[in-house]
């Protein structure tokens, strides 16, 4: 599939604002890949597909979790977690992308993971700092991402966990595992 064909398929799944976001994540990820010596084509594809499943109905995820015998605890969560963790089911079936490093970058883009390849770290950060993002701390996140990828992953992980707790949100266990793997080490 060419990049244009991939873009056209993604566009059918996403509203215009979300489609614009994934293109900004792609551009940011490709820039970071060049900087950190990561495969730029993988960064491009992972950036474009990371939110592929974001706008699907809940029932699609519930069916996919059951049909693929994924962790049944996933049924206790929602789209925020599903679109990353379960997204690769749809990316494989509909986009025919099977590269496990790309699929892991999608799986981990929301919650992070104890182990993330440089590509997964880049997608995690590109999603957080793409030029359309505007929140307290985004400028610090952008500076850190250009200086030290691991410190940037720790920064995002710490701030996301603090945000969830401040807002009485449930913390997905993998989000907490990411915190334990990345944040204490970053001192």
Residues near Fe ion, by CB under 5 A: 51, 127
Structure tokens at 89: 């089911």
Q: Shortest distance, CB of residue 139 to Fe ion, whole angstroms?
A: 17
> Which residue lies nearer to ligand GDP by CB, 38 or 157?
157
CB 155 within 8 A of CB 128: no
Judged by beta carbon, residue 51 or residue 104, the one nearer Fe ion is 51
CA dihedral over 132, 170, 122, 139, signed as positive or negative:
positive
Tell me how crowded residue 95 is: count the other CB atoms within 10 A of its CB. 19
- Min dist. Cβ of residue 128 to Fe ion (A): 5
Residue whose C-alpha is closest to residue 13's, from 65, 54, 67:
54
- Residue 163 CB, nearest approach to ligand GDP (Å): 6
Q: Which tokens is 135 given?
A: 């929140």
Of 14 and 70, nearer to Fe ion (C-beta) is 14
Whole-angstrom CA distances from 115 to 2, 16, 40, 89, 120 are: 30, 33, 20, 21, 9
Residues forming the site for ligand GDP (CB under 6 A): 51, 54, 80, 84, 109-111, 127, 160, 164, 169-172, 175
Min dist CB 132 to ligand GDP, Å, is 10
Nearer to Fe ion, 38 or 84 (CB): 84
């Amino acid at each position: 599939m060419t990049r244009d064909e991939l873009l056209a398929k993604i566009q059918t799944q996403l509203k215009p604002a979300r489609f614009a976001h994934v293109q900004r994540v792609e551009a940011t990820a490709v820039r970071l890949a060049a900087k950190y010596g990561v495969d730029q084509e993988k960064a491009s594809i992972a950036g474009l597909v990371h939110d592929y499943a974001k706008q699907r109905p809940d029932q699609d995820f519930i069916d996919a979790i059951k049909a693929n015998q994924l962790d049944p605890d996933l049924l206790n969560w929602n789209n925020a977690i599903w679109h990353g963790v379960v997204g690769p089911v749809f990316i494989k079936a509909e986009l025919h992308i099977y590269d496990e490093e790309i699929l892991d970058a999608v799986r981990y883009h929301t919650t992070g993971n104890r182990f993330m390849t440089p590509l997964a770290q880049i997608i995690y950060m590109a999603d957080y700092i793409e030029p359309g993002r505007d929140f307290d701390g985004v400028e610090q996140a952008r500076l850190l991402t250009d200086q030290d990828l691991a410190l940037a992953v720790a920064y995002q992980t710490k701030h996301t966990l603090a945000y969830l707790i401040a807002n009485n949100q449930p913390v997905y266990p993998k989000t907490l595992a990411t915190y334990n793997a990345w944040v204490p080490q970053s001192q």
